[in-house]
């Protein structure tokens, strides 16, 4: 499990993550929601050892991330950030291959190659494998990044806003994929989502943050209530039941 114990992070005088204690990485998909500036991305950075907490500690599978070698952690935790601006001209195959780096350290074994092939197959990227990333559409590129994370073969997968800049079709496609990764491959997926309807439809558990604190943490259905969403977003959100599913209406 990914455990945060009394974790605090400040930037300047501002507390971005405020004494958060939270356990992530249970079975299935966990969605992290909350308004802009709630501290979701910082929380991911803390878990992904990109920034150090000012107080508290983070453990992954019982290993303290400040004392465990980074290379070791990379075998159990993969983080995909929301800004994946890759300037380098790399092919899809190159990128997926780099996902094996924690295991191969650059020398690919037969097993590494098998994982690469599986990841490319799983994301249906075979036709594009020798294309450069800058020759792909947004949806294809996002799939390539997910294939890289998949090739890393970790128990925990953290995705920061994987739906960013995608159209409806590709958003659904990615969420379906995330679901399959959890159900078929047993990945423990934690993902930041902005669209709460996507979160409600595809995740098992929703953690809501606001002002650096966790304000709600419950199964998806319990979060989808007007009073809870109002507390999280500070905006009136109507929730209707359509075909037995709660749907949030927040279009004004």
Partner 1 sequence: MTALDRPLTSTLPRARPGRAWVGVLAGVLLVVLAATSLFVGVSDVSPVSVLTGGPDGDAAFLLVASRIPRTVAIVLVGASLGIAGLIMQMLVRNKFVEPGTTGVSEFATLGMLVTMVFLPGLPVVGKMGVAAAFGLFGTWVFLRVVRFVPVRQLVLVPLVGIMLGGVVGAVTTFFAYRLDLLQSLGQWSQGSFATIMAGRYEFLWIAGLMVVVAWVAADRFSVIGLGEEFATNLGLDYRRVVAVGMVVVAVITAAVLVTAGMIPFLGLVVPNVVSLVIGDNVRRSISWVAGLGAVLVLACDLVARTVRMPYEIPLSVVVGVVGAALFLWLLLRRRSRAR
Query: CA-to-CA distance for 167 and 174, rounded, in angstroms?
Result: 11
Residues 147-166 that bind partner 1 (CB under 8 A): 152
Q: Are the C-beta atoms of residues 197 and 242 closer than 8 Å to each other? A: no
How many chain residues touch partner 1 (CB under 8 A)?
A: 45
Angle (nearest 5°) at CA 134 between 129 and 138: 85
Structure tokens at 19: 């004494």
Q: Are the C-beta atoms of residues 146 and 81 closer than 8 Å to each other? A: no
111 is a site residue for partner 1 (CB under 8 A): yes
89, 176, 221, 240: which one binds partner 1 (CB under 8 A) = 89
Give least dist CB 105 to partner 1, A.
8
- Closer CB to partner 1, 32 or 181, in the complex: 181
94 is a site residue for partner 1 (CB under 8 A): yes
Give least dist CB 127 to partner 1, A.
12
Give the residue among 239, 234, 231 at the shortest CA–CA distance from 199: 239
243 is a site residue for partner 1 (CB under 8 A): no
50 is a site residue for partner 1 (CB under 8 A): yes
48 is a site residue for partner 1 (CB under 8 A): yes
73 is a site residue for partner 1 (CB under 8 A): yes
176 is a site residue for partner 1 (CB under 8 A): no
Q: Are the C-beta atoms of residues 150 and 181 closer than 8 Å to each other? A: yes
Quick one: how many helices (H) and strands (E) in the chain?
10, 12
- Closer CB to partner 1, 51 or 247, in the complex: 51
Give the burial class of 235: count Cβ atoms within 10 A of its Cβ; 0-12 exposed, 13-18 middle, 19 or more buried: exposed
Q: Are the C-beta atoms of residues 165 and 153 closer than 8 Å to each other? A: no
Binding interface with partner 1 (CB under 8 A): 48-50, 69-75, 78-81, 85-91, 93-94, 98-99, 101-102, 105-106, 110-111, 113-114, 116-118, 121-122, 129-130, 132, 152, 180, 184-185
């Amino acid at each position: 499990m990914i455990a945060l114990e009394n974790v605090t992070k400040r930037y300047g005088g501002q507390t971005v993550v405020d004494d958060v204690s939270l356990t992530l990485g249970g079975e299935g998909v966990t969605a992290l929601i909350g308004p802009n500036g709630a501290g979701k991305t910082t929380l991911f950075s803390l878990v992904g050892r990109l920034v150090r907490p000012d107080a508290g500690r983070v453990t992954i599978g019982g290993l303290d991330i400040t004392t465990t070698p980074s290379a070791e952690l990379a075998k159990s935790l993969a983080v995909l950030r929301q800004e994946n601006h890759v300037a380098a001209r790399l092919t899809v195959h190159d990128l997926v291959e780099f996902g094996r780096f924690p295991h191969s350290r650059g020398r690919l074994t037969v097993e590494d190659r098998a994982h690469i092939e599986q990841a490319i197959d799983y994301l249906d990227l075979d036709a594009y494998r020798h294309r450069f990333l800058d020759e792909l559409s947004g949806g294809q590129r996002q799939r390539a990044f997910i294939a890289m994370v998949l090739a890393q073969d970790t128990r925990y997968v953290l995705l920061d806003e994987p739906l960013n800049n995608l159209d409806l079709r590709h958003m659904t496609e990615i969420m379906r994929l995330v679901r399959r990764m959890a159900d078929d491959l047993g990945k423990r997926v934690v993902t930041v989502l902005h669209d709460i309807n996507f979160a409600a439809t595809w995740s098992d558990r929703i953690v809501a943050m606001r002002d650096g604190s966790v304000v709600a943490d419950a199964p998806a259905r319990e979060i989808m209530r007007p009073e809870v969403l109002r507390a999280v977003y500070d905006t009136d959100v109507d929730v209707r039941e359509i075909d037995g599913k709660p749907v949030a209406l927040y279009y004004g």
